[in-house]
């Protein structure tokens, strides 16, 4: 049984649960149960606050975890980063009241900065020889300058709208982050096999992203032109239709590529074009 730590609620919860569900790992969530076994796969999910995930994986209470890279950096826990998961993209940035003049990092000397990520900030300041005071606050960081708690803030930025709404401007980006899969060091062979199986499924989901299954009918004398426009996983499938002189062509194609060539396909006589989502693709 492989134990996976996932954020109990918050920004990464839904995407993490969706990832497991797309990999056909069935978890019956219930608000009050914090450890849930999958019904069809040797995995159990431990629901935690995101701050606690790196440590729980590092000490082996959970075997793997889904957490923001920013939390891994902040906690400094010794875990293996297995892969990026393609969601929870954000950055950790310094910001200050928008009307203040800013001419570079020296501005922060002697200033007070509010943050929930003191370790990442401390490391950045010391690397740049800036002597600033850090005020630790666990949430609503962006309000700090407005209410006189601090001169500047260091927090997560994604769209930037929280900064704008609080009259702040981003002046330095310190790190980029996204959700990652972390694993305890020296996972035993049996658990490693379960993790490999999960990764195989994630790869199949990833390979299918932005790909479409295309079916179309075309006159036989235009088939070679049409298949020259269409790549396939290996090569397109061509099958005769009941109506003589016509064939059906099936292939897998990048969604973007499809929109580029649709005009040419039609110009070559393609008809009845069907585009179908692909759930998983094993190449
Ligand atoms: N606006 C955002 N856009 C994208 N990703 C984000 C955003 N805000 C946070 N994240 C990512 O999601 C993680 C969890 O964010 P969230 O705001 O849910 O944390 P939290 O309030 O500390 O939650 P918890 O209650 O679990 O401690 C962050 O550490 C970061 O990696
Ligand atoms: O740049 P934006 O797109 O506005 O996102 C940034 C905000 O998102 C996060 O907070 P969240 O909304 O998760 O709430 P929280 O502070 O309660 O965790 C983060 O702490 C910022 O405040
Ligand atoms: Mg947290």
User: What would the pLDDT profile of 178-189 be if each residue is shown by its tens digit?
Assistant: 999 999 999 999
Q: Which domains does the chain have, with CATH numbers?
A: 2-86+179-207 (3.40.190.10), 90-176 (3.40.190.10), 210-277 (3.30.70.120)
Ligand nearest to the CA of 153: 2
Higher pLDDT, 232 or 135: 135
| Whole-structure pTM value | 0.89
The residue written with tokens 């892969």 in the block is 83
Using H for helix, E for strand and C for coil, what is the string for the chain?
CEEEEEECCCCCHHHHHHHHHHCCCCCCCCCCCCEEECCCCCEEEEEECHHHHHHHHHCCCCCEEEEEHHHHHHHCCCCEEEEECCCCCEEEEEEEECCCCCCCHHHHCCCEEEECCHHHHHHHHHHCCCCCEEEECCCCHHHCCCCCCCCEEEEEECCCHHHHHCCEEEEEEEEEECEEEEECCCCCHHHHHHHHHHHHHHHHHHHHCCEEEEEEEEEHHHHHHHHHHCCCCCCCEEEECCCCCEEEEEEEEEHHHHHHHHHHHHHCCCEEEEEEECCCCCC
- pLDDT, position 30: 81
Contact 38, 45 (CB under 8 A): yes
User: Which residues make Cβ contacts (< 8 Å) with residue 276, sequence separation at least 6?
Assistant: 212, 213, 214, 215
CA of 11 to the centre of ligand 1 (A): 5
CA of 113 to the centre of ligand 2 (A): 17
Pocket perturbation via mutation, ligand 1, pick of 5, 50, 117, 140 by most ligand atoms within 8 A of CB: 50
CA of 21 to the centre of ligand 3 (A): 24
Please check the confidence at residue 32 and state whether its pLDDT lies above 90. Answer: no
Ligand nearest to the CA of 49: 1
CA of 10 to the centre of ligand 1 (A): 6
Instruction: Calculate what percentage of the chain has a pLDDT beyond 70.
Output: 100
Ligand nearest to the CA of 164: 2
User: Which residues make Cβ contacts (< 8 Å) with residue 202, sequence separation at least 6?
Assistant: 19, 23, 83, 85
Quick check: CB of 271 below 6 Å from ligand 2?
A: no
- pLDDT, position 279: 92
pLDDT band at 235 (very low <50, low <70, confident <90, very high): confident
Please check the confidence at residue 17 and state whether its pLDDT lies above 90. Answer: yes
Residue 169: CB atoms within 10 Å? 16
Show the tokens assigned to 191: 């658990």
User: What would the pLDDT profile of 92-143 be if each residue is shown by its tens digit?
Assistant: 999 999 999 999 999 999 999 999 999 999 999 999 999 999 999 999 999 9
The residue written with tokens 């040797």 in the block is 42
Complex ipTM over 0.90: yes
- pLDDT, position 234: 82
Quick check: CB of 66 below 6 Å from ligand 1?
A: no
Please check the confidence at residue 283 and state whether its pLDDT lies above 90. Answer: no
Quick check: CB of 176 below 6 Å from ligand 1?
A: no
- pLDDT, position 83: 95
CA of 88 to the centre of ligand 1 (A): 8
Please check the confidence at residue 33 and state whether its pLDDT lies above 90. Answer: no
- pLDDT, position 85: 94
CA of 75 to the centre of ligand 2 (A): 19
The residue written with tokens 């790992």 in the block is 25
Please check the confidence at residue 232 and state whether its pLDDT lies above 80. Answer: no
Quick check: CB of 90 below 6 Å from ligand 1?
A: yes
Q: What integer best gives the mean pLDDT of the chain?
A: 96
Please check the confidence at residue 147 and state whether its pLDDT lies above 90. Answer: yes
Quick check: CB of 155 below 6 Å from ligand 2?
A: yes
User: What would the pLDDT profile of 150-179 be if each residue is shown by its tens digit?
Assistant: 999 999 999 999 999 999 999 999 999 999
Residue nearest to atom 6 of ligand 2 (CA): 157
Backbone φ, ψ for residue 102 (5° rounding): -130, 125
């Amino acid at each position: 049984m492989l134990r996976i730590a996932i954020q109990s609620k918050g920004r990464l919860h839904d995407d993490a649960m969706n990832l497991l569900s797309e990999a056909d790992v069935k978890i019956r969530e219930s608000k009050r149960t914090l450890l849930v076994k999958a019904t069809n796969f040797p995995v159990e999910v431990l629901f935690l606050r995101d701050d606690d995930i790196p440590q729980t994986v590092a000490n082996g209470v959970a075997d793997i975890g889904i957490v923001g890279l920013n939390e891994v950096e902040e906690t400094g826990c010794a875990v293996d980063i297995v892969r990026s998961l393609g969601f929870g993209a954000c950055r950790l940035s310094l910001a200050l009241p928008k009307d203040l003049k800013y001419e570079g990092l020296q501005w922060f000397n002697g200033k007070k900065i509010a943050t929930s990520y003191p370790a990442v900030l401390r490391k950045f300041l010391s690397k740049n020889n800036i002597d600033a005071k850090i005020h630790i606050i666990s949430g609503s960081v962006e309000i700090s300058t407005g209410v006189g708690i601090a001169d500047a803030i260091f927090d997560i930025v994604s769209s930037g709208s929280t900064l704008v709404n609080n009259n702040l401007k981003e002046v330095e980006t310190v790190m980029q982050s996204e959700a990652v899969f972390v694993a305890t060091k020296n996972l035993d062979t049996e658990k490693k096999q379960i993790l490999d199986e999960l990764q195989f499924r994630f790869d199949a989901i990833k390979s299918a992203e932005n790909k479409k299954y295309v079916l179309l009918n075309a006159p036989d004398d235009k088939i070679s032109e049409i298949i020259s426009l269409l790549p396939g996983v290996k090569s397109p499938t061509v099958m005769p239709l009941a109506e003589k002189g016509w064939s059906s062509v099936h292939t897998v194609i990048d969604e973007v590529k499809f929109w580029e060539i649709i005009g040419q396909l039609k110009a070559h006589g393609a008809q009845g074009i069907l585009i179908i989502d692909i759930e998983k693709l094993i190449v």
